[in-house]
Amino acid sequence: MIMNSLDLQSLKNPVDIILCIIILFPLIRGFATSYSSKDLKHQIEDFCGNVAFIAAIIIGSSITKKIFINKEQGVYELIYSKIPQAVITFVDKRPITIYILIMPIIIFIFYALIDFIIKLINSVTIYLILDAIQNFLKKRRQSVRRFAGAIFQIPTAVSILIIVVVALNLGLYLNFSEKYTPYVENSIVYNYVNNTVVYPLAQSDLAKRIPNIINNSFKISTETSSETSNTSSDVTKDNKVIIYYNGVTLEDGIKSNEEIDSFALELTKNEENLADKAENLYGWVGSSIEYDYDKAKKILSNDFNVSSGTINTYYTREGICFDYACLFASMCIANDIKVRLITGEGKSGGQWVSHAWNEIYDPLTDKWINVDPTFYMGGDYFDSPVFNLDHRKASVAGEW
């Protein structure tokens, strides 16, 4: 009700204002009430509850992804095999249930366990220290006690801020409100906390390998005989219009050579059906090509004095999303696999950004399968049931 009554256009960014209030309120309250070990114990319980919640999110989300999305081997594969087939079928048909049902349950279980352990430790350590500080501050001036009260509220302020950012992040993933999404995505405070704290923690060491395309490092432009203008229009057959992807045409982007084609055939020689061949190609491209952050920065600066497409990517083993998609498409073409290059938006570090990926046609199922070799390190992005949760606004740029 409060948010509905606000004229959001009159504020520079209401999300930033709210997050700043969240940070400042505990500090002001601590200064106003001064230091109290009794109050701090209650606040520490709340703080530790938040810590337990954050830890549970990190652990629970990671385990859920390893079981239901990445389907990793070892103990995760064992757990997956014990799940009733009816549940697996239900989840595959409704992948959103992984995030709104299964993951919250797993997170709650870990939260209860972690919270219990923390409370047990606090009772024989921190609480005794707080009582000692209380006795020490009794002999000090009121201003010192107020300052101490504010200082001891910093962990509470930080933890509450992180919880709110996590909630906003989840809201963006689930697209709860298109009206407020731009405010969240453009919030300086949200992006700083999400990209420096929440996202790295949630992804752990994986965050170092997954391309974090924090801006639109994939750009499409059109050129006519009379003028040049930026656009995100679909491919057109009008001969007067030339469409460039990161500075090159699609035809130049997927241009291959005999060596690449022969290598692509070698990768799939032991497979029978086309889907398996395509999955082999996806695995090789995703695992062999490194994301080129320097090139991404140049593209962001509209510097197209870079080499793009299949040939350059194959030999340098580097590229950005368009290059991954071009190389994969070229290798599919060499194997007579019907393939598309798709442009749209992908979710990266809490933001929707311009992105490119592929689709391949599987004649056995008579359907087009989503494939994203750029995000290979982030999980199973070959015909993944949760593919559409972090990919949207798909448009076919080319089909072969």
| Spatial distance between the Cα atoms of 294 and 318, rounded to a whole number of angstroms | 10
pLDDT at 204: 45
242 lies in some domain? no
Same-domain status, 162 and 290: no
From 149, 181, 208, give the residue that closes a domain: 208
63 lies in some domain? yes
224 lies in some domain? no
CATH code (residue 253): 3.10.620.30
291 lies in some domain? yes
Strand ranges across the sheet with 391-399: 367-371, 351-362, 339-348, 391-399
Identify the three-state secondary structure at position 398.
Answer: strand
159 lies in some domain? yes
pLDDT at 62: 81
CA distances to 10, 56, 68, 79, 385 from 83, rounded to whole Å, are 51, 22, 10, 7, 17
pLDDT at 243: 65
Same-domain status, 86 and 187: yes
Same-domain status, 16 and 157: yes
The residue segments making up the domain with residue 296 are: 249-399
300 lies in some domain? yes
pLDDT tens-place values along the chain, 400 residues long: 334 434 444 457 888 888 888 888 888 877 877 666 676 677 778 778 878 888 888 888 888 878 877 666 778 888 888 888 888 888 777 777 887 888 889 999 999 999 999 989 988 888 788 777 777 766 677 777 677 777 777 877 887 888 888 778 767 666 566 677 778 878 888 888 877 777 666 544 443 444 443 344 555 555 554 444 443 334 444 444 556 676 778 888 999 999 999 999 999 999 888 999 999 999 999 999 998 888 877 776 677 777 889 999 999 999 888 999 999 999 999 999 999 999 988 876 556 788 899 999 999 999 999 999 998 877 778 988 778 878 888 899 999 9
Same-domain status, 52 and 103: yes
pLDDT at 236: 43
From 184, 208, 232, give the residue that closes a domain: 208
Q: Is 335 exposed, middle or buried (0-12, 13-18, 19+ CB in 10 A)?
A: buried
Same-domain status, 202 and 260: no
328 lies in some domain? yes
Q: What's the total number of domains in the chain?
A: 2
From 208, 237, 269, give the residue that closes a domain: 208
Q: Report the Cα 314 to chain-centroid distance in Å.
A: 26
Supply the pTM of this predicted model: 0.57
Same-domain status, 55 and 148: yes
Same-domain status, 66 and 142: yes
Same-domain status, 125 and 35: yes
Token pair of 42, please? 């209650």
Same-domain status, 279 and 185: no
28 lies in some domain? yes
Which 8-state DSSP code applies to residue 166? H
Same-domain status, 74 and 174: yes
Same-domain status, 47 and 190: yes
Same-domain status, 137 and 21: yes
Sequence-distant (≥ 6) Cβ neighbours of residue 277 within 8 angstroms: 268, 271, 335, 337
